[in-house]
A and B are shown apart, each in its own frame.
Chain A
Amino acid sequence: GENVEQHPSTLSVQEGDSAVIKCTYSDSASNYFPWYKQELGKGPQLIIDIRSNVGEKKDQRIAVTLNKTAKHFSLHITETQPEDSAVYFCAASPGFQKLVFGTGTRLLVSP
């Protein structure tokens, strides 16, 4: 079955810096890759997603890139702010509505 690896597990940056989180997946049939942000005491919030027929997608300060050949996808956050501090999860979908999640990255943005 699908397996998703996520790195790093923790990431500390200064406000205004960029942050990059990387994931790899194993199942070449996976075709949908969402990213979620989870704050303490809340459910995961969808922040951006990408499909396998697209290489890059941007939404303001957030961008996701996908390399299908290498089975890598990454989340890029520019001009980080303290409110970006949270746990970020990548996921891959091998079919229907099933998501296989990475292990999460705790992002800390210091003022």
Chain B
Amino acid sequence: KAGVTQTPRYLIKTRGQQVTLSCSPISGHRSVSWYQQTPGQGLQFLFEYFSETQRNKGNFPGRFSGRQFSNSRSEMNVSTLELGDSALYLCASSLGHRVVGEQYFGPGTRLTVT
């Protein structure tokens, strides 16, 4: 089975711009979660989508949003970029049952905001 794929792998944006990141989960997985990884804050949960619905949300401002499509692929969007948004953005896929299960991460998208 192919693993979790994320595109693009690297991105450079300017403050004030917006960005969209994409994640394709493992075939058969219906849940996609997004995490932000920074040296200062570590790995932090952004949100989780299951069957096109946001099921869980972390403590991030409204500039961070996401969506999921009927094929389980997910996108996250960050508007009005700030320097502090520079991070590795990771998505993880899982079967998505109500009982938490194994989550498999993609390689991440490295976002640099200048």
Residues of A within 8 A of B (CB): 31-32, 34, 36, 41-46, 49, 89, 91, 93, 95-104
Q: Do A98 and B102 have beta carbons less than 8 Å apart?
A: no
Chain B: minimal CB distance from A7 (Å): 14
Interface size range of chain B in the complex: 20 to 34
Q: Given A42-B107, A44-B90, A46-B103, are A98 and B42 neighbors across the interface (CB < 8 Å)?
A: no
Give which listed residue, A97, A98, A102, contacts B96 with CB less than 8 A: A97
B64 on the A face (CB < 8 A): no
- Chain B: interface secondary structure? strand
- State whether A99 touches B103 (Cβ < 8 A): yes
Residues of A within 8 A of B35 (CB): 99
Q: Which of A42, A46, A97, A102 has the most CB of B within 10 A?
A: A97
Given the interface contacts A31-B100, A43-B90, A44-B90, does A99 sit within 8 Å of B105 by beta carbon? no
Out of B4, B48, B102, B105, name the residue touching A96 (CB < 8 Å): B48
Choose from A32, A36, A98 the contact partner of B33 (Cβ within 8 Å): A98
In Å, the complex CA distance between A36 and B102 comes to 11
Are A32 and B90 in contact (CB-based, < 8 A)? Answer: no
